[in-house]
Structure 1
């Protein structure tokens, strides 16, 4: 190498860290979201086929940011980006991708490369990725993996979806109960390469490999070497392998767990679940409940128009049917409406107030059921509380609206009619909002999915019936 070439290389090496730092600053905004200008830089490099610039831009991003970037790119551009990632980087990016985007990305990854990437993942992430593959490609990828890794993934796939068995990672740190702290730490140092990349607890097991306790790593490091594990271990909360992931999240939240062992029906330790997995479950379940309340599914960035229509239209059809029944009550009182035209103006107000009040009660009830704050032990008290709230809200709104109607129409009887209708509808709204999710859950249905349609029907039907029925008694 000539002296000039060496000097040029040294100059580039000196500048590179500064350029890298500038790119990192440009990549993310203050809210840690990708900067649109940075996305444009990546798109420009892709359009020009500038592989060196693309590698430079991707190198300045963390795996989670590369995964976020994929959502802003076309399918073809994603394929180009994937080609610039080594198996280790690809493994981290695949773990962070949204499921819809990951399915598209996996179509562009050769089976041999994907098999190497899976080997770099924790077993729980690898199972998620393999589960997204088409049957033919799944067989190719599994065939390209070492026998031990393939067997672990196939065993996890045998568990039902959204259970602890699917959620757990098989990499787990355990020690026999007759060991001392010193023996345990020495073993960790010898077997460091075979241990999980991140762990929080050491599970103490009996000769049958059944967990009998757990020791936080921080406690282990502060304890004298000659202390037996059996004397310093703490009680352990076991997670059955078939438990629903929502139940697992509830246990983690209730007992403030960082990690927990997963056991087979016989009690044998087969894996562990860590808090980072639970954060994802909580986010997933929360998103599902929020979307279900509106009767829609997740319309991700790659969702197609017909898929969105297919998910939303059935609930709109059901809502159309219930609203048709609700407004049929108007036809029964059409003579009253013809005599008192003001009723036609006031009807939407009564039904709208009831609908909003019902949604408030419904939202509180669904959240309470999901967080186990509402059960048979306190259901009567919660129902009674919501009824009192509905009645008090109805009284206040009845007074306000009654005065407004009297000021506008100068008709005391019409004001009384409006006030009484509002009280009746808000009471029914509170009753429907709290009872609908409770009854649906007792029937084994998801209360977040069906409750809103029932509550809307009840408040609209009662709103029309109350106003027009009371008007028939007072005004006619």
Structure 2
């Protein structure tokens, strides 16, 4: 029976509601009971309600609670609180919650976590708070965590798990199996065993299924995979995630500069990286930076304001182009009605191309080798869509204003702007990456500027020439 299907408690006649409703959200009845237990300080009831929940469900629950309920929630659970749930929280929620908890409780809870989860929580704290927690941990744990924290942010060293199984090549399969059965300090989950020399340099690895299918007398050296490629601890985690995705990896070794084994990576952490990077790119395309849903309104407003100011500047530039054709617009008011259509269609087309280009650059699917092929495709797509839209908008405009020439003008302007939209949507992200500017953050502003300026200039300029209107 799953947690969400729990309905009867053996210790009480009361019915425990389902944790999540049919749509997968935390049920209102369940939340009400949890909030009542917190308000009453009823630790026993709270443990009954959430004691069996998965860490991900506990994380969702903490984020759903009001800010003043989160600290008491953790404190009431005491030793029954799984600190792994903190890894499921938005950074802003996690930091505020950590500030409310005493260092002793944090040290005890973090000390029970896998090293990668512990580092994930500690890395967001300032150096003083990190030291206060690390000082209360056993020496061996403290050294392991500090070593991981010393690696650069966004690196494999920060992501790795320092608990792993390493054996010498001269051990037999039987010795290895006996060791795994008898040793107390083993990782909670692992999929392969690493083979090292006396200097702890990585020689290879053996998957667990191969060990289980091999006779006990066989030497590990005979069955190990010598071609396993480890990751360096300083390697960027996005590159690591891309390799996991490309080669369908489940786990991998991490080595230092000297080739010594220092940790292992697991696919569950890599999935988190892939999701975080995708969300980061999505937010960046909208100019939202590191904004999270749990941020307060001041932080959110500040993070958005900068790019809104930049967009204001580009809007003024587009307005300046319009002002160049002030006389043209006065002579034919219909132009003022129709010109937003030209800019809007170009902006939408440019955003479509830009989104594909930014994602392709992030996943290294777009490079110098295939750039011209992709560029040719985007130009052809722009032409095809441009002509199709030109016919639709041209006919509609001609019928609307009873002016066939006006329909032709807006049709030509649409085609021109669609071509520039396709070109700018692809080339602007490429150029920004070449000059070491994040294309996910800056591309949208420049693409919108190009499509607005070209759209207005093409439509109003062609109209002025076609109808011999004053500027």
TM range (shorter): over 0.9
Deviation at 1:49, TM superposition (A): 3.3
Distance 2:291 2:437 in 1: 23
- Deviations along 1:45-77, one digit per CA (max 9) or x if unpaired, are 222333332232222422221211111222331
Deviation at 1:204, TM superposition (A): 1.6
Task: Tell me what 2:458 maps to.
Answer: 466
Distance 1:155 1:385 in 2: 49
Distance 2:129 2:353 in 1: 48
Match of 2:196 among 192, 205, 221: 205
Task: Tell me what 2:434 maps to.
Answer: 442
Match of 2:120 among 128, 149, 154: 128
For the residue of structure 2 that corresponds to 1:266, the secondary structure is coil
For the residue of structure 1 that corresponds to 2:252, the secondary structure is strand
Deviates more, 1:134-143 or 1:458-467: 134-143
Match of 2:410 among 389, 406, 418: 418
* 1:226 matches 2:245: no
Q: Check 1:288–1:359 CA distance in 2 against 1; reply closer, same or farther (3 A cut).
A: same
Deviation at 1:177, TM superposition (A): 1.6
1:44-63 alignment runs, 5 A limit: 44-63=36-55
For the residue of structure 2 that corresponds to 1:26, the secondary structure is coil
1:59-458 alignment runs, 5 A limit: 59-87=51-79, 89-191=81-183, 193-234=184-225, 235-458=227-450
Match of 2:31 among 34, 39, 54: 39
Task: Tell me what 1:8 maps to.
Answer: none
Contact 1:82 1:90 in 2 (8 A): no
Q: Check 1:243–1:111 CA distance in 2 against 1; reply closer, same or farther (3 A cut).
A: same
Deviation at 1:400, TM superposition (A): 1.1
Deviation at 1:301, TM superposition (A): 4.3
Contact 2:291 2:303 in 1 (8 A): no
Contact 2:193 2:206 in 1 (8 A): yes
Contact 1:20 1:60 in 2 (8 A): no
Number of aligned residue pairs: 460
Deviation at 1:449, TM superposition (A): 0.2
The structure with more helix, counted as a fraction of residues:
1
Distance 2:205 2:14 in 1: 42
Task: Tell me what 1:7 maps to.
Answer: none
Match of 1:17 among 10, 13, 17: 10
Deviation at 1:124, TM superposition (A): 1.2
After TM superposition, where is structure 1 displaced by more than 4 Å over at least 4 residues in a row? 18-22
Distance 1:189 1:79 in 2: 39
Distance 1:249 1:353 in 2: 36
Task: Tell me what 2:4 maps to.
Answer: none
Contact 1:239 1:261 in 2 (8 A): yes
Distance 1:20 1:399 in 2: 71
- Deviations along 1:216-236, one digit per CA (max 9) or x if unpaired, are 111211111122222222221
RMSD: 1.8
Distance 1:472 1:465 in 2: 10
For the residue of structure 1 that corresponds to 2:189, the secondary structure is coil
Q: Check 1:436–1:186 CA distance in 2 against 1; reply closer, same or farther (3 A cut).
A: same
Contact 2:90 2:294 in 1 (8 A): no
- Deviations along 1:244-294, one digit per CA (max 9) or x if unpaired, are 111110010011100010111111111011001101101111111000000
For the residue of structure 1 that corresponds to 2:100, the secondary structure is coil
Deviation at 1:306, TM superposition (A): 1.4
Deviates more, 1:135-144 or 1:359-368: 135-144
Contact 1:297 1:308 in 2 (8 A): no
Deviates more, 1:77-86 or 1:367-376: 77-86
Task: Tell me what 1:10 maps to.
Answer: none
Contact 2:244 2:250 in 1 (8 A): yes
For the residue of structure 2 that corresponds to 1:107, the secondary structure is helix
- TM-score (norm: length of structure 2): 0.94
Contact 2:394 2:411 in 1 (8 A): yes
Task: Tell me what 2:3 maps to.
Answer: none
Deviation at 1:446, TM superposition (A): 0.8
Gaps of 5+ in 2: 1-7
For the residue of structure 2 that corresponds to 1:140, the secondary structure is helix
Deviates more, 1:195-204 or 1:69-78: 69-78
Deviation at 1:181, TM superposition (A): 1.2
Distance 2:58 2:417 in 1: 52
Q: Check 1:434–1:21 CA distance in 2 against 1; reply closer, same or farther (3 A cut).
A: farther
Deviates more, 1:107-116 or 1:236-245: 107-116
Q: Check 1:226–1:232 CA distance in 2 against 1; reply closer, same or farther (3 A cut).
A: same
